[in-house]
Chains A and B, each alone.
Chain A
Amino acid sequence: MKKLLFFSILAIALGSGSVYAQDKGAKDMVVTGNTKSITLPDIATPLKDGPGKEYVEGNCTICHSTDYINMQPKMPKAKWSATVKKMVKTFGCPVNDAEMKAIEDYLAANYGTGS
């Protein structure tokens, strides 16, 4: 009950009661004094198994989750290569040429159009 009351006060303070009330005890948003904090869940989206997967998992998750890859439409190898090149040259993905090639092969084989 005490807990419930605490959360409703929080909710009212933030002006949107129903949202937090629904979150049945999931304390993923708290306000302490002037500070508002949230806790983000870990959501893993597995990649398909195949040669080169370890290079993708090791390098392509430094800046973002694997779902950036899963989400894409099937693309021809040239398009995947262009994407990988952008990650390396524009954003600084730290891979050498051999790793880059292994990643391109993996993506084309598992998330490609086969062309």
Chain B
Amino acid sequence: MDNRLTRRFFLKTVGVFTATAALGSWPTNIFADEKKLVRLPEKTDLILLTSRPPQLETPLHYFKELLTPNEALFVRWHLANIPTSVDLSQWRLNIGGNTDREVKLSMDDLKKLEKVSYTAVIQCSGNGRSFFEPRVPGGQWDNGAMGNVTWTGARLKDVLNAAGIKAGSVDVTFNGLDSGPLPTVPDLVKSLPVDKAMEDDIIVAYEMNGAPLTMLNGFPARLVVPGWYATYWVKALTDIKVLTQTFEEFWMKPAYRIPDNACGCVEPGSAPKKTVPINRMTTRSVIVTPTQGSGLKAKKPVEVMGVAFSGGYGIKDVVVSVDNGKTWNTARLGRDLGKYSWVLWYHSWRPAKPGKYTVMAKATNSIGESQPSDSLWNPAGYLWNKIEKIEVNVI
């Protein structure tokens, strides 16, 4: 283990291998499977994907908790010029376009609107991309591009009503303080259909877990679209614009699209004929303990636990198998913080005799959406929710 301490950050190299690697197929790229931990401002040691712009992944063990600490929440920026200094006396949220008036809200103005709070899973569209086979380019996340956070802010609906949406509106766009280093790089602007934008539960959040947003998670305010992938949760939000036509700039089209069919998938290696913008999250569960490859003792009880969530419909049940899917047991569910939150699940297991065991977990949400046993493939590596499988050795 190489452990260097430089002036401002810690860089560690640890011999952790991804689940795919440990499950049999030797890693195709040794470098891709070697994880470096770095510590950035307001953050703890997180797994480095890229440094400029920063993309940092949360180590799995943080998911033993119902809420993900601010310092441990993953970081994902697209464009190199990210905000590193924000003066709240200058920052404004501008709302305009097809509205009755142009409005500029200060942070104080925003805080005067009704304050709402709820717990919601934030998950990157590409969470689990590194498990795709055949592999696809993009951020090579394992399972750590997600977290469960209590968000507080003003309803987007109230913010939009302050400007007054006019008839004939189609899409609402959201832009933040980040930008590309060259003018040729498309700015990160995302859009929601106007009906979606006016839903009660979408908020402009200025707090995470009761504290101001960290700079790397979108200080001073970000969009929270619970149930939908984080690509819409625009950080360091400054501009909201109401449009009378469909918005189809780069980050909405061709980027962040999924095949236009029920599974959001195509034959591995092929291209979809028709695509739609990625939207609601698929249902999934992740096994947190025991970890892949760990050694357990026969006859000694072990708690198999993890998290489960769905795109805004709550979790009905989680079933766990310790015999590679032959038999399934219903897991106990932990505290319910609402339909957008994840639940922790537990299954007490006493391995009867030594050997190799394959542990699996499968979640189902309240409208019957569940997880596939074979991975569903798409060229951008989105919607990963294959049934989790880990191997443990019992001695």
Contact = CB atoms under 8 A, between A and B. Distances in A.
Interface of A: 14-16, 18-20, 22-23, 26, 28-29, 33-45, 62-65, 67-68, 70-75, 79, 83, 90-92, 94, 111, 113
A34 B219 CA distance: 13
Interface stretch (B208-216, B285-293, B302-310, B336-344): B208-216
B327 interface: no
Nearest to A94: B182
A45 B54 CA distance: 13
Contact of B86 (A36, A44, A68, A113): A36
B368 interface: no
A63 B80 contact: yes
Nearest to B133: A73
Q: Which of B41, B180, B182, B212 has the most CB of A within 10 A?
A: B41
B82 to A, nearest CB: 8
Contacts of B88: 34-36
B270 interface: no
B100 interface: no
Interface in B218-262: 219-220, 250
A68 B140 CA distance: 10
Closest 6 CB pairs of A and B: A92-B184, A38-B41, A73-B135, A15-B211, A43-B51, A37-B85
Contacts of A34: 87-90
B140 A41 contact: no
A70 B50 CA distance: 9
Given A36-B215, A72-B140, A91 B135 contact: no
B211 A16 contact: yes
A39 B8 contact: yes
Q: Which of A33, A41, A73, A113 has the most CB of B within 10 A?
A: A73
Contacts of B86: 35-37
Contacts of B182: 62-63, 91-92, 94
B211 A14 contact: yes
Contacts of B136: 73
Interface stretch (B24-32, B163-171, B354-362): B24-32
Contacts of A74: 28-29, 135
Nearest to B183: A92
B42 A64 contact: no
B317 interface: no
Contacts of B50: 64-65, 67-68, 71
A113 B28 CA distance: 8
Contacts, number: 138
Contact of A63 (B70, B140, B185): B185
Contacts of B7: 41
Contacts of A20: 42
B72 to A, nearest CB: 10
Contact of B140 (A40, A64, A71): A71
B383 interface: no
Given A16-B211, A19-B44, A72-B137, 12 more contacts: A16-B42, A18-B71, A33-B87, A33-B89, A34-B90, A35-B88, A41-B38, A43-B48, A73-B136, A73-B140, A90-B250, A94-B182
Interface residues of B, number: 54
Interface string B173-212: 0000000111111100000000000000000000000111
B270 to A, nearest CB: 14
Contact of A41 (B6, B87, B186): B6
Interface string B115-155: 00000000000000010000111011000000000000000
Contacts of B84: 37-40
Contacts of B184: 91-92
A79 B7 CA distance: 38
Contacts of B8: 26, 28, 39, 41
Contacts of B9: 26, 41, 43
A64 B28 contact: no
Nearest to B208: A16
B137 A75 contact: yes
A79 B135 CA distance: 11
Contacts of A73: 28-29, 32, 130, 135-137, 140
Contacts of A23: 39
Given A64-B80, A67-B51, A15 B210 contact: yes
A86 to B, nearest CB: 9
B350 to A, nearest CB: 37
Contacts of A63: 79-80, 180-182, 185
